[in-house]
Amino acid sequence: MVKYIVNFTIYFSLFIALLYFIRFSNKSKAYRVFTIYLILISIIQLTSEYLFILKTGHTIFLFHYYFIGQYILLSIFYFILLKYKWILWILCLVLGVLLFQYTNNSSLYNRYNVIGAVITQMVLVIYSLIYMYKSIYAKGEFVLVNIGVFVYLLSSTLLFASGNLVFDFGFPESVSRMLNDLNAILYLLFQILIFMEWYRNYRLKTA
């Protein structure tokens, strides 16, 4: 069942990206940046699926493009929404830390960068929490998307950390599979919220 969910999310990501791209030119800067984020994620997911079908056995390198690209684009997205200049300073600082990581340890490119992924995702969770608080007092754009970012990235970070504990302490493989399955379900929920945002606020409405 979960395998079908994973396959569905891959093609659903492309579908959502196309929906947002339709009205790309006449929308806000935040909308355009978020659309670019959706396109990037869909390309990475489709590439990963293509390499999996070819049985190349090497898709880990895509993980680095995924979490770094996600961090850059969603940081800019929240900078536009929140208008806090310190977001750009934090963006440069974290990218500097990641650059140091990869230049200091080139083998990191061939395995999961747990520290980098956790740092970038937690920073984005903080931005989403701040925007959620502000949205209580003033209506803003992308409220549903922001809820999705908060729930999915926070849960993903916790599951990712739990997965490493499972590996370190030698828990059964079934536990690791259960965590991966839960992550897939949460990602589908995130996509549904993104779709609901589009349907509620950005679809072409007939009179």
Domain count, the chain: 1
Residue 113 placed within a domain: yes
Residue 20 CB coordination number (10 Å): 22
Residue 115 — pLDDT band, cuts 50, 70, 90?
A: confident
Tokens of 179: 């965590």
Residue 16 placed within a domain: yes
| pLDDT above 90: residue 136 | no
Residue 48 placed within a domain: yes
pTM over the 0.85 mark = yes
- In this predicted structure, what is the pLDDT of residue 42? 95
Residue 182 placed within a domain: yes
Place of tokens 């992550």: 183
Residue 26 placed within a domain: yes
Q: Are 12 and 38 in contact (CB under 8 A)?
A: no
Residue 206 placed within a domain: no
CA pair distance 123, 127, nearest whole angstrom: 6
Residue 129 — pLDDT band, cuts 50, 70, 90?
A: very high
Residue 207 placed within a domain: no
CA pair distance 17, 21, nearest whole angstrom: 6
CA pair distance 60, 114, nearest whole angstrom: 12
Buried b / exposed e over 168-181, threshold 16 CB at 10 Å, is: eeeeeeeeeeebee
Residue 180 domain boundaries: 2-201
Residue 65 placed within a domain: yes
